[in-house]
């Protein structure tokens, strides 16, 4: 396969373009996606190619256009609903949680809801408490939704294409600070299956599990510890629901230690679910208590020093791994 290096935003754009060319029922709707070419230029040039009937600008009314998308999906179309940020999607939760997620079960299978809700999640610098929240664990709590959170251009393209083709509602999470990241992406078409984690780095001493932009910190910690001859296995969840428990458990059975890294509040987090699943399926293999690194259990502040204190970082991860490695047995 011919490999190119392209930005994250281009990988997302190519996924949408290819699926819209493939299927006339696919369309994009959201704030500034058409005339302005997208708030983060993800949809640049798409209105020129597909026209205003398939790339649709909306008012600042998330509940309204999410509802239009759900209705369109119930009637045979495949909408992609772009939120400028998942923080704004809070206004649309009634449609996501009470309509899209429940439609198949409430209709006894008469209606499916093939819709993708996508946009950036979590912190992106000094954006304040109302624009910096992570929502993966919120959406993963809802039966009927599939939840994807990507960390690199390759996964972004392959998983977004799979999400668009899926017959159930998918919540797709990106990051504002990664849209310019460049990564290797094949020229040829490819799909990545939903529900399969990726072992991005193999190791023998400890497993670290994460997703989205926290993967950068996970890899940085693994590199730092490699200098001390500590072998870290790094797993990118990619899909939060359904969770690839098998890959995580198999890794823990090999390394006997687990550290989980997440940019979210600790209470009721993805780290909590991963911890439970590992204790259920691999408790006897653990040689140390499971360690987890999350944000602090507060709203994020605006001051840069407080943002730094709120967020996970490489130093915190390295410290947690060393605590897991050198615990008394």
Nearest to 203 by CA among 237, 224, 232, 223: 232
Pair (14, 131) in one structural domain: yes
CATH number, domain of 100, equals 3.40.50.970
Could you list the residue range(s) of the whole structural domain that residue 75 is in? 3-186
pTM of the model: 0.96
Pair (166, 210) in one structural domain: no
Assigned domain for 314 exists: yes
Q: Which residues contact 292 (CB under 8 A, 6 or more apart)?
A: 259, 260, 261, 262, 266, 269, 271, 275, 320
Pair (307, 263) in one structural domain: yes
Last residue of a domain, one of 129, 153, 186: 186
State the pLDDT at residue 260: 98
Residues 89-110 have pLDDT tens digits of 999 999 999 999 999 999 999 9
At 125, the pLDDT band (50, 70, 90 cuts) reads: confident
Pair (223, 152) in one structural domain: no
Query: How many structural domains are present in the chain?
Result: 2
Pair (46, 94) in one structural domain: yes
Pair (313, 208) in one structural domain: yes
Pair (275, 173) in one structural domain: no
Pair (179, 205) in one structural domain: no
Pair (160, 273) in one structural domain: no
Assigned domain for 192 exists: no
Residues 55-77 have pLDDT tens digits of 999 999 999 999 999 999 999 99
Q: Which residues contact 213 (CB under 8 A, 6 or more apart)?
A: 122, 151, 175, 177, 178, 263
**pLDDT surpasses 90 at 136:** yes
Percent of the chain with pLDDT over 70: 99
75: exposed, middle or buried (Cβ count in 10 Å: 0-12, 13-18, 19+): exposed
Residues 212-271 have pLDDT tens digits of 999 999 999 999 999 999 999 999 999 999 999 999 999 999 999 999 999 999 999 999
CATH number, domain of 297, equals 3.40.50.920
Round the average pLDDT of the chain to a whole number and report it. Answer: 96
**pLDDT surpasses 70 at 322:** yes
- What are the b/e assignments for 194-223, b being 16+ CB within 10 Å? beebbebbebebbbbbbbbbbbbbbbebbe
State the pLDDT at residue 275: 97
Residues serving a catalytic function are 62, 131
Pair (180, 100) in one structural domain: yes
Which strand ranges, in their side-by-side order, compose the sheet holding 206-210?
198-201, 232-236, 206-210, 258-261, 291-293
What is the average per-residue pLDDT within 71-84? 97
């Amino acid at each position: 396969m011919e490999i190119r290096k392209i930005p994250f935003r281009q990988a997302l754009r190519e996924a949408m373009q290819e699926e819209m060319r493939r299927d006339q029922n696919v369309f994009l709707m959201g704030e500034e996606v058409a005339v302005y070419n997208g708030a983060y230029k993800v949809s640049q040039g798409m209105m020129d190619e597909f026209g205003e009937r398939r790339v649709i600008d909306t008012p600042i009314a998330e509940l309204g256009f999410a509802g239009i998308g759900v209705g369109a999906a119930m009637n045979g179309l495949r909408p992609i609903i772009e939120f400028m940020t998942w923080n704004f999607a809070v206004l649309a939760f009634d449609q996501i949680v009470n309509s899209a997620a429940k439609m198949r079960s409430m209709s006894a299978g008469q209606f499916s809801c093939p819709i993708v809700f996508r946009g950036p999640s979590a912190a992106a610098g000094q954006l304040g408490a109302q624009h910096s929240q992570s929502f993966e664990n919120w959406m993963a709590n809802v039966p009927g939704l599939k939840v994807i959170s990507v960390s690199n251009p390759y996964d972004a393209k392959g998983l977004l294409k799979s999400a668009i083709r899926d017959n159930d509602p998918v919540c797709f999470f990106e990051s504002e600070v990664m849209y310019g990241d460049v990564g290797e992406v094949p020229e040829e078409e490819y799909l990545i299956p939903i529900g399969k984690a990726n072992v991005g780095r193999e190791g023998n001493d400890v497993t670290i599990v994460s997703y989205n932009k926290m993967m950068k910190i996970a890899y940085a910690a693994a590199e730092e510890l490699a200098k001390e001859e500590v072998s870290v296995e790094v797993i990118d969840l990619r899909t939060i629901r359904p969770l690839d428990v098998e890959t995580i458990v198999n890794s823990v059975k090999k390394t006997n230690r687990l550290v989980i890294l997440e940019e979210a509040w600790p209470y009721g987090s993805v780290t909590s679910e991963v911890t439970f699943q590992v204790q259920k399926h691999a408790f006897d293999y653990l040689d140390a208590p499971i360690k987890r690194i999350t944000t602090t259990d507060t709203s994020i502040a605006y001051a840069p020093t407080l943002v730094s204190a709120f967020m996970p970082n490489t130093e915190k991860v390295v410290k947690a791994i060393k605590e897991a490695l050198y615990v008394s047995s």
